Amino acid sequence: MEEPLVRPRPLTEEAAGLRAGVPELPDHVDRLCALVERVDPLIHAFVPEPGRYDRLRAQAREVAARYPEPDGRPPLYGVAVGVKDIVHVDGLPTHGGSALPPGVLAGPQAVVVDRLRAAGALVAGKTVTAEFAASAPGPTRNPHHPGHTPGGSSSGSAAAVAAGLVPLAIGTQTVGSVIRPAAYCGVVGFRPTYGRIPITGVIPNAPSFDTLGTFTADLAGAALVAPLLCDGWRPGRGDSPEPVLGVPDGTYLEHAEPAALRAFEEQLARLERAGFTVRRVELFPDFAGITRQLQAVNRFELARSHADWFARFGGLYRPETVAGIRAGQGVAAGDRAAALRFRERLGERVAAAGAAAGVDLWLAPSATGGAPEGLHSTGDAVMSLPWSFLGRPALSLPAGRTAEGLPLGLQVVGAPGGDERLLAQAARVERALAESRASRESRESRAGR
Residues that are catalytic: 84, 153, 177
149, 132, 166: which is closest to 39 by C-alpha? 166
Separation of alpha carbons 68 and 117, rounded Å: 16
Give bridge partners of residue 89 from the DSSP assignment: 92
For residue 244, which phi and psi values (nearest 5 degrees)?
-85, 130
Q: What is the CA radius of gyration of the chain?
A: 21
Separation of alpha carbons 97 and 131, rounded Å: 4
Structural contact between residues 161 and 187, judged by C-beta atoms closer than 8 angstroms:
yes
Length of the chain: 449
Structural contact between residues 32 and 49, judged by C-beta atoms closer than 8 angstroms:
no
Separation of alpha carbons 397 and 428, rounded Å: 12
Separation of alpha carbons 102 and 114, rounded Å: 23
Angle (CA) 29-35-40 rounded to 5° is 125
